[in-house]
Amino acid sequence: MSPDEIEVAIQGAFDGTLREEDCLRLREVLKRDPAARVLYFEHAALHQLLVYRLSRSHPLDTARTLIDARLKLQNRRNVRASLAVAAAVVLLLGLALMRLLAPEPAALATMEVSAGSRFTVQAPDAGSGPSPADGLREGTRIRLDQGSLELRIRNGSRAVVLAPAHLRIDSESRMTLYEGTAWFEIGKDAKGFQVVTPQLMVTDLGTQFGVLALPDASHEIHVFSGKVIARSRSGLKTEEQLTSGMARLCDPAGRLKAVPLLPESFLSLLPAHPPSTLIANGGFEAGSPPPPSNYGPYATAAMLPGWRFGSDIVVMRATAEGHPGYGERSITILSSTADNQVGFNFGREGRPSVKTVSLWQTFATQPGRKYEVHFEMGAIFFEPTTLEITAAVHDGDAPEGPPDSPPLASQIARRASTDSNGYNLPVKLSFTASSGSSTLVFTETSEHSLSADPVIDNIFVKEVP
């Protein structure tokens, strides 16, 4: 029964007009509803007053008394309703004032990004993301599509994260790394800090360590100093305490398997960026030094910060025997700066897919402005062939890989085995930007490169009149 129906039923009960079935319903309501019982008692008091006055008064006085009593009850109800409304208004105003005056939740971390990084920050209330200078609160999510970032956590800990990455700051003592490469230095008062990936949980016991959570790969923990407790999150849920110099891979069954320590897979500092070029790390020197290897180790995010790349891209500085340059043993080639070079090492028959032999980076531009791209291209041969690298500039970002859209401009750099091992003269590519960002892509487009590799170095982009 509604409040109005309850009051009508109570009045009918005292007037003797309430039907039997409605009387039974009213009785059940009065049993379970305290407010209905209060209303019943008010009507009962009114009824008693009326009975008493009617027994002692003149008929005209009796009518006046009945009217006065009804008005008195009505006024009491109006006052109660007004007080309820006023109380509700005061409560709402108080809540609004508390919300206005309440301090913002304390920031748990601050963030700094390297030049050329592409990222998004999502606040826990799903609002628009803050700038890197703003504090990051509990529950903040960060997606890093290109480049690197450094997090400084309030407890004194520090993390350097390399793209591609997706993470969430769960609390001052816990972070979820859904994907990415991250190096951690835990503050002396922050022991117990946890890093959680879909496959691993790492609990710090006072240390420096790195976590590799790459897509479609087993996740890894590498301990550089101190110790941690590593536990797989599925399967056998193996747990092990690891100390300095130890590394483990979490296999699909949940076992922790020993793997070589790879400090070159991580960065402990953000890479420097020369202000003279719009491209980040165009000389390939800003990352971890590649270990000596014939035809170079395959690139990692730490070796090529700022760049996105396919699975057949390598970075090389010296051969396994220590000879500087790109190649093997003492047969090498050097760029004009005689330092790190990027090779396109497909190493199989046929023409490779575009994404596996591409290197790309998105950078800021202004619509209608003109720009120049400069780079060096070389090649090393062990059979007669012609190698080529296609440089192309596309409008906009390319988070998923080299774009399929027609480029704003492109240039093919070729070198034939008849030209011998070595580098061509620097190549220049000009374009006019269409929007606030452009993507530079280098792709090997050789027909055959089984026993020959093209290489590039010293890329820079500048605005021109």
52 and 153 belong to one structural domain: no
By CB atoms closer than 10 A (0-12, 13-18, 19+), residue 359 is buried
**Strand, coil or helix: 106:** coil
359 and 457 belong to one structural domain: yes
Look at residues 40, 71, 101 and tell me which one is the last residue of a structural domain.
Answer: 101
313 and 454 belong to one structural domain: yes
pTM of the model: 0.73
154 and 234 belong to one structural domain: yes
With respect to residue 185, please indicate whether it lies within any of the assigned structural domains.
yes
Enter the DSSP assignment of 311.
T
358 and 231 belong to one structural domain: no
Which pLDDT score is estimated for 97?
47
Look at residues 265, 297, 321 and tell me which one is the last residue of a structural domain.
Answer: 265
Contact 263, 273 (CB under 8 A): no
150 and 68 belong to one structural domain: no
Contact 297, 315 (CB under 8 A): yes
Strands lying side by side in the sheet with 308-309: 308-309, 358-364, 437-444, 386-395, 409-416
Contact 6, 29 (CB under 8 A): yes
Look at residues 47, 81, 101 and tell me which one is the last residue of a structural domain.
Answer: 101
Which pLDDT score is estimated for 103?
52
With respect to residue 294, please indicate whether it lies within any of the assigned structural domains.
no
With respect to residue 316, please indicate whether it lies within any of the assigned structural domains.
yes
Domain at 332, CATH number: 2.60.120.260
94 and 126 belong to one structural domain: no
φ, ψ for residue 276, nearest 5 deg: -80, -10
93 and 193 belong to one structural domain: no
Domain encompassing residue 34: 3-101
Ramachandran class of 413: left when φ > 0, alpha when ψ lies in -120 to 50, beta otherwise: beta
Nearest C-alpha neighbor of 211 from the set 236, 230, 239: 230
With respect to residue 143, please indicate whether it lies within any of the assigned structural domains.
yes
413 DSSP β-pair partners: 389
Which pLDDT score is estimated for 12?
82
137 and 234 belong to one structural domain: yes
pLDDT in single tens digits along all 465 residues of the chain: 777 788 788 878 777 787 877 877 878 777 777 777 777 777 776 666 555 455 544 444 545 555 555 555 566 555 555 555 555 554 554 554 455 444 556 788 999 999 889 999 998 875 555 555 568 999 999 999 999 999 999 999 999 999 999 999 999 999 999 999 999 999 988 889 999 999 999 999 989 999 999 988 999 999 999 999 999 999 999 999 999 999 999 999 999 999 999 999 999 999 987 777 899 999 999 999 999 999 999 999 999 999 999 999 999 999 999 999 999 988 999 999 999 999 998 766 667 788 899 999 999 999 999 999 999 999 999 999 999 999 999 999 998 889 989 999 999 999 999 999 999 999 999 999 999 999 999 999 998 888 899 999 999 999 999
36 and 114 belong to one structural domain: no
21 and 118 belong to one structural domain: no
Q: Name the domain count of the chain.
A: 3
Domain at 165, CATH number: 2.60.120.1440
125 and 97 belong to one structural domain: no
With respect to residue 404, please indicate whether it lies within any of the assigned structural domains.
yes
With respect to residue 285, please indicate whether it lies within any of the assigned structural domains.
no
Which pLDDT score is estimated for 293?
94
The residue to which tokens 């990415």 are assigned? 180
With respect to residue 446, please indicate whether it lies within any of the assigned structural domains.
yes
With respect to residue 212, please indicate whether it lies within any of the assigned structural domains.
yes
